[in-house]
């Protein structure tokens, strides 16, 4: 119990007992989870659920390994628990790997919190271990699967090393002035050394399936790449945009939204009137994000004339709108095609518009900078380089109460790196230029740029109305239906009071779990290596 305070020990062992007693007295698990007993209620609840598990006989059981790793991430551990219980019921063998304070740095060991690293990791590990054990699931410890004295070649994981640095410091560009940079580089290399060994060890066990969250950074990246290269079926999962949904990928990291195979099959098939109605209703909610897990639109929808007046835009001159990403986020980092990095893309675009004062540019900084945080605010970079922007360039900061859909309304041409705005603008007949690698690129409804020369040539020659958006908007809506309505699988199995903060499960028996929408289909898709799509 090293590094755990006596206070947390009491919470870890007494709170589940209190929860079990109070539930026996008639208090619902949801209410208990939302009480001061907190997430530890999960331990008591899953222990009771385990008693309802009846394992079906399986002639050829699959050997499945979950790389849970960080036990304190209640969303990820809860996904693992429910999938593990579902697969175990079907007669398959499931094993769960936890980091028992072995990794010198991981996603829990955040920059600026170094003094608390061991305590945070210890709490996460012991909670995760008790949770998995209470569910009757087999736990393997990372320290027992690797040799800390051994050094392996990690040269092939240079991109994982860089991505891990970006994530740790929450920046998009690494500079030598970052605090304790040499030390952190050493720790990340050591973590990659350990997880490389883990990947090789799991490979030697000849798994039939490997399941992990994300599949990125130093914690999961090396095992993912090792197993993927060896042809092992790897399932990654992550939260999606919509509430109570999850997305699953075979052999793609979870930062990638993979619907390409299904898109080829359905892109030429018109949506039914029912499907049109369904996606239109959801797209309407994206203006306020009322059905999404995170809110990125802070302002109300405005009339076009109001937006033009608010930002002092000339209605007689073309408006180009550039939408940034959070620089360090996996959905944005290391996706460059036309430019060497997204910062230089923005700088060079601003430079071009400074030389073309007859054209107008909006630069809208992604609101996620204030929602999930960043240590390299895009607006600060722009202000430092351009202390006095000319009147034809408008900078909208991330906390400003401006709705992206209002900006779409005044836009003649959109400019994006990888943000979802790039697939939303074509929905409202706004052509959009994509300069980097993103899931909606090359789907037929965006202008996909290969080089900066092509990019600036297009800006120079662009005339409002030059693109026929009729078929483009039809394709964009078909893609939106596939992505938002079919790819994001219903996953209504836990009560999550805030982003990733799971407090209780929404079922009391294994049979109830399998009655949840699409849960049986998800388990079957894991077993059969099928697609994860709704009908």
Percent of the chain with pLDDT over 70: 100
Q: Does a structural domain hold residue 21? A: no
Q: Does a structural domain hold residue 268? A: no
The reply to whether 105 and 220 lie within a common domain is yes
The reply to whether 306 and 455 lie within a common domain is yes
Q: What is the CATH number of the domain that holds 160?
A: 3.40.50
Letter string b/e over residues 135-171, b meaning 16 or more CB atoms within 10 A of that residue's CB: bebebbebeebbeeeeeeebeebeebbebbbbbbbbb
The reply to whether 516 and 468 lie within a common domain is no
Q: Give the per-residue pLDDT at 5.
A: 78
**Please, which pLDDT band fits residue 333 given cuts at 50, 70 and 90?**
confident
pLDDT in tens, 53-75: 999 999 999 999 999 999 999 99
The answer for 531, left when phi > 0, alpha when psi is -120 to 50, beta otherwise, is: beta
CA distance 523 to 287: 34
Residue where a domain stops, chosen among 464, 481, 498: 481
Q: Does a structural domain hold residue 271? A: no
Residue-averaged pLDDT of the chain: 96
The reply to whether 93 and 230 lie within a common domain is yes
Which residue reads 């740095």 in tokens?
A: 105
pLDDT in tens, 120-170: 999 999 999 999 999 999 999 999 999 999 999 999 999 999 999 999 999
Report the number of distinct structural domains present in the chain: 2
Q: Does a structural domain hold residue 2? A: no
pLDDT in tens, 354-391: 999 999 999 999 999 999 999 999 999 999 999 999 99
Joined tokens for residue 266: 């359905």
Q: Does a structural domain hold residue 24? A: no
pLDDT in tens, 70-119: 999 999 999 999 999 999 999 999 999 999 999 999 999 999 999 999 99
Q: What is the CATH number of the domain that holds 393?
A: 3.40.50.12580
The reply to whether 255 and 182 lie within a common domain is yes
Q: Give the per-residue pLDDT at 425.
A: 98
The reply to whether 98 and 233 lie within a common domain is yes
CA 454 to mean position of chain CA atoms: 31
The reply to whether 227 and 365 lie within a common domain is no
The reply to whether 493 and 399 lie within a common domain is no
The reply to whether 91 and 145 lie within a common domain is yes
Q: Does a structural domain hold residue 36? A: no
Q: Does a structural domain hold residue 34? A: no
The reply to whether 322 and 182 lie within a common domain is no
The reply to whether 108 and 206 lie within a common domain is yes
End-to-end CA distance of the chain: 48
Which structural domain range is residue 422 located in?
Answer: 286-481
The reply to whether 170 and 310 lie within a common domain is no
Q: Does a structural domain hold residue 323? A: yes
């Amino acid at each position: 119990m090293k590094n755990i305070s006596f206070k947390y020990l009491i919470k870890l062992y007494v709170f589940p007992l209190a929860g079990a007693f109070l539930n026996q007295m008639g208090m619902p698990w949801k209410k208990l989870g939302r009480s001061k007993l907190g997430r530890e209620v999960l331990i008591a609840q899953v222990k009771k659920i385990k008693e309802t598990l009846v394992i079906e006989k399986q002639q050829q059981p699959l050997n499945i390994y979950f790389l849970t790793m960080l036990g304190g991430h209640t969303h990820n551990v809860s996904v693992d628990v429910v999938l593990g219980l579902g697969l175990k019921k079907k007669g398959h063998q499931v094993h769960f790997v936890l980091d028992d304070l072995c990794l010198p740095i991981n996603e829990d060991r955040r920059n600026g919190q170094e003094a608390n690293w061991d305590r945070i990791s210890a709490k996460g590990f012991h909670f995760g271990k008790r949770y998995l054990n209470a569910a009757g699931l087999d736990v393997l410890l990372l320290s027992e699967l690797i040799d800390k004295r051994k050094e392996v070649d990690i040269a092939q994981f240079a991109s994982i090393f860089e991505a891990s640095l970006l994530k740790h410091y929450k920046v998009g560009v690494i500079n030598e002035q970052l605090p304790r940079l040499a030390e952190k580089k050493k720790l990340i290399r050591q973590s990659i050394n350990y997880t490389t060994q883990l990947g090789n060890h799991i490979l030697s066990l000849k798994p039939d399936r490997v399941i992990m969250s994300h599949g990125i950074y130093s914690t999961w990246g090396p095992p993912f790449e090792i197993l993927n290269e060896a042809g092992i079926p790897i399932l990654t999962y992550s939260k999606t945009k919509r509430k109570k949904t999850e997305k699953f990928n075979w052999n793609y990291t979870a930062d990638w939204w993979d619907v390409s195979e299904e898109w080829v099959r359905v892109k030429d098939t018109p949506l039914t009137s029912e499907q049109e109605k369904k996606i239109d209703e959801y797209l309407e909610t994206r203006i306020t994000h009322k059905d999404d897990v995170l809110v990125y639109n802070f302002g109300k929808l405005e009339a076009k004339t109001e937006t033009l007046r608010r930002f002092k835009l000339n209605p007689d001159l073309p408006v180009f709108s550039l939408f940034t990403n959070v620089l360090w986020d996996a959905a944005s980092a290391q996706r460059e095609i036309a430019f060497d990095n997204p910062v230089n893309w923005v700088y060079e675009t601003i430079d071009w518009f400074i030389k073309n004062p007859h054209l107008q540019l909006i630069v809208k900084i992604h609101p996620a900078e204030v929602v999930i945080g960043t240590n390299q605010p895009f607006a600060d970079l722009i202000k430092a380089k351009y202390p006095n922007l000319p009147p034809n360039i408008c900078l909208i900061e991330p906390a400003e109460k401006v709705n992206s859909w209002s900006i779409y309304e005044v836009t003649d041409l959109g400019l994006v790196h990888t943000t979802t705005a790039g697939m939303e603008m074509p929905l409202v007949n706004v052509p959009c230029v994509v300069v980097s690698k993103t899931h909606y690129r090359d789907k037929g409804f965006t202008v996909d740029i290969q080089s900066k020369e092509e990019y600036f040539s297009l800006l120079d020659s662009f005339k409002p109305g030059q693109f026929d958006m009729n078929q483009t908007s039809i394709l964009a809506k078909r893609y939106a239906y596939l992505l938002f309505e079919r790819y994001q699988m219903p996953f209504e199995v836990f009560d999550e009071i805030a982003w990733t903060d799971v407090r209780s499960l929404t079922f009391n028996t294994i049979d109830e779990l399998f009655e949840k929408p699409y849960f049986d289909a998800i388990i079957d898709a894991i077993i059969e290596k099928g697609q994860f799509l709704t009908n």
